[in-house]
């Protein structure tokens, strides 16, 4: 009797722990699933309404397209009535060029701050951190004058320079923390083998790839979705980005909602593809930063 009761008690405890574990796991997944539905609902709503007629958009906005409401007039208007290809190329060029400059310049600055100790090292790091705290849009007037002096108004390069300047502070802050974790013995061994400082820098980059992916994700979405600086610096037809180009379907009295929703749907595709490419590195970078 005693042996049986002693054996039954651990079994009951294990059953209780098992139920508690599954309850906690299901609760966590339920919260995450609810948040996912809440976050993706606007995207799904834009997608399904871009495939419906104008009447169906206002009559049944939450219903899926049917054979009666199915209409691709929005996509037809986008490709025939606007320079969508040019807008798409401008946005893609500005985003990729800005990301390339941000990653290249910030990684070199972070390597210098993490590797070399010199007078003003801490002050320079704090100076970069100030760029995170001060919104760059406060300097819109000065930036506009500067770009006018450089003859870069209505040029995608003006946007590239602005986005690069706004993205470097956060990138330097993140990359510096990761580069400080690279073992010094590895760099000293490379120096003993005769490697130059530039060679050592190129050897470190693959080791901080998760941080580079994190920086890329944090910068590419605001750059792609930005409307303010394209409106101020590149509002001509030849240099419009895709987000600014979608505004041509919004009039003072009449709005072409089919074309607006179609253009927004097409605008989401590249950024989703880029996010999928960098998402694994983003997750690794976030978890590595949490552990460190």
For the stretch 128-158, pLDDT in tens is 778 788 888 888 899 999 999 999 898 899 9
Tally the C-alpha atoms within 13 A of residue 60's C-alpha that lie toward its C-beta: 12
Q: Which residue has the tokens 């701050």?
A: 113
Average pLDDT, the chain: 82
Classify the phi-psi angles of 120: left when phi > 0, otherwise alpha if psi is within -120 to 50, otherwise beta. left
Which helix (H) or strand (E) is 271 found in, with range? helix 257-291
Report which DSSP code applies to 67. T
Per-residue pLDDT, 10: 60
Which helix (H) or strand (E) is 130 found in, with range? helix 121-133
83-291 belongs to CATH 1.10.3720.10: yes
Per-residue pLDDT, 287: 54
Task: Report the alpha-carbon angle 117-123-129, nearest 5.
Answer: 115
Q: Report the share of the chain in percent with pLDDT over 90.
A: 15
Per-residue pLDDT, 2: 47
More confident residue, 120 or 207: 207
Q: Evaluate if residue 164 carries a pLDDT over 90.
A: yes
In angstroms, the CA 155 to CA 147 distance is 9
In angstroms, the CA 244 to CA 58 distance is 24
* All residues at 6 or more sequence positions from 261 whose CB lies less than 8 Å from its CB, including other chains: 46, 49, 50, 57, 74
In angstroms, the CA 285 to CA 273 distance is 19
- pLDDT tens column, 258-289: 888 888 888 888 888 877 777 666 666 555 54
* All residues at 6 or more sequence positions from 129 whose CB lies less than 8 Å from its CB, including other chains: 169, 173
Per-residue pLDDT, 292: 46
Q: Averaged over 37-55, what is the pLDDT?
A: 87
Domain ranges of the chain: 2-49, 83-291
Q: Which of 154, 158, 156, 109 is nearest to 131 (CA)?
A: 109
In angstroms, the CA 168 to CA 99 distance is 10
Structure tokens at 166: 């706004």
Q: Please, are residues 213 and 282 in contact by the beta-carbon 8 Å criterion?
A: yes
What confidence category does residue 229 fall into, taking pLDDT thresholds of 50, 70 and 90?
A: very high
In angstroms, the CA 211 to CA 289 distance is 9
Chain-centroid distance, C-alpha 34? 22
Q: Averaged over 102-130, what is the pLDDT?
A: 83
Structure tokens at 187: 């760099």
Structure tokens at 128: 């970069």
Q: Which residue has the tokens 């993205």?
A: 167
In angstroms, the CA 283 to CA 289 distance is 10
């Amino acid at each position: 009797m005693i042996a049986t009761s002693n054996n039954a008690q651990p079994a009951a405890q294990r059953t209780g722990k098992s139920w508690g574990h599954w309850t906690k796991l299901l609760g966590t997944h339920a919260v995450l699933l609810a948040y996912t539905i809440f976050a993706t609902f606007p995207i799904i709503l834009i997608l399904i309404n871009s495939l419906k007629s104008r009447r169906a958009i206002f009559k049944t906005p939450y219903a899926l397209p049917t054979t009666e409401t199915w209409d691709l007039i929005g996509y037809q208007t986008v490709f025939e009535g606007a320079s969508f290809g040019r807008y798409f190329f401008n946005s893609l060029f500005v985003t990729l060029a800005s990301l390339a400059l941000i990653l290249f310049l910030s990684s070199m600055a972070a390597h210098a701050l993490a590797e070399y100790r010199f007078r003003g090292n801490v002050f320079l790091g704090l100076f970069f951190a100030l760029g995170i705290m001060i919104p760059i849009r406060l300097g819109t007037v000065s930036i506009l004058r500067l770009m006018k002096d450089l003859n870069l108004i209505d040029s995608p390069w003006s946007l590239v320079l602005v986005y690069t300047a706004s993205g470097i502070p956060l990138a330097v802050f993140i990359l510096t923390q990761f580069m400080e974790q690279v073992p010094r013995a590895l760099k000293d061994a490379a120096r003993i083998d005769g490697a130059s400082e530039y060679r050592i820098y190129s050897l470190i980059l693959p080791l901080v790839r998760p941080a580079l992916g994190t920086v890329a994700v944090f910068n590419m979405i605001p750059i792609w979705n930005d409307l303010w600086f394209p409106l101020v610096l590149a509002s001509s037809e030849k240099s419009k980005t895709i987000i600014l180009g979608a505004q041509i379907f919004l009039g003072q009295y009449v709005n072409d909602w089919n074309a607006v929703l179609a253009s927004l749907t097409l605008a989401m595709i590249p950024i989703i593809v880029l996010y999928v490419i960098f998402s694994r590195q983003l997750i690794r970078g976030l978890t590595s930063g949490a552990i460190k």
